[in-house]
Structure 1
């Protein structure tokens, strides 16, 4: 008979080492590294792209810049090493050992990350799976620091994991979460949780008492674009209403009352379709 135990990551009760929600967060972390984090970081490391905006009045250095961005290259190498060690933990060949005697797969992240996502059940079965999940979150955090344009970040909400705890003064911890326009995920700088930004934004709006917005069709589409980072048109809203995703209520003239939770769920459908 199976015994119930607490998830070593979130503390929730579940059968097995890691609960389903934390397992999905781990999978999304690997997916983010594969689709966004590592490709962007590689371009930045080799100065094929830059995130800072140079000032027209800024002074020029007397020395030429290095051919690579050293900090970005270090983060890139660290992330790839983590993938190789994680794959080595599963015994993926070919592999060798590092200077600490740990098994390390001799392949690049472009091959490793899809394989790690595919073998997620084997990752979850590892006796030290919680430590590896925590290490993956830390890797995502370091990659995000180098691969995200800071001056374009906007407030999304507050971290739900931090908000569920209390500080030393007994008050709720409110860690602001910032992300760039169009981002889907972020890592909390305090607790290291991997967050889905649409969920963070929805909870933030609910806590502020915003369950509905009253807008025209065009203004509602503009609101969704600005708050969810996905380009939405009035025609999209009409299509979602016909498909049963939205149930707007007519208020007066061209104004309708839109349910925020329905709007965000519809945006998720659009993202998955794209």
Structure 2
């Protein structure tokens, strides 16, 4: 009988860093000022390219915000196909943690079936954890993620299906369909041990109108944020607002774990190594 060894999934020198694997970052923006975000990423060694949403015109003026967002991401997917290598895509309101480039990859460097690796998660679930403590799972939200050229091609197909299914003027939670779409095509999707940054944006009214949460925050971060998020910097008491929002994200994440939403009971029952999944979860939310 093999001996069970608990492996700490925290940052390890045995795993390659993001900065050693990814050098190209696409920043998806509308009218947001991205100077500070660009500087932070460039200082960490990344090459940045801004992809801004085209101004509203007669063609797209009635498009829903969710569809406009999808089109902007689609532009980044096309660029990745042209470059033909995995890249990082982030939205303009993402705030990375300090030294994000030095943090470990959340998937095997030689993964040939990489679908998506979320660096920021919303409503995450874990499906399995490998012996090297890489976790496959689910997330909504496309605030920050790494994809391969192969998965970029599939996501462009998904964008066309979203257009046909919902139309251009209607809301769609298309980001919630990414995981199943890629997995159904034989790819593997990875969630991080902890988030590599925060969603710094303000509440999304379109989400609220369609029965979704008004806001979402990272459940737990790898380290301190590189700069103050917009939701805090524009508040009357920035630091207090930051603490309040981070507390909200942390408590909500712990609650999802305790109530079986991050790791679901059927997943544990089917797993041949449930102890490994539980250790990943406990380490994520409890250990420091």
TM-score after normalising by structure 2: 0.26
* Bigger Rg over Cα: 1
Higher-RCO chain (CA-CA 8 Å, sequence separation at least 6): 2
TM-score after normalising by structure 1: 0.27
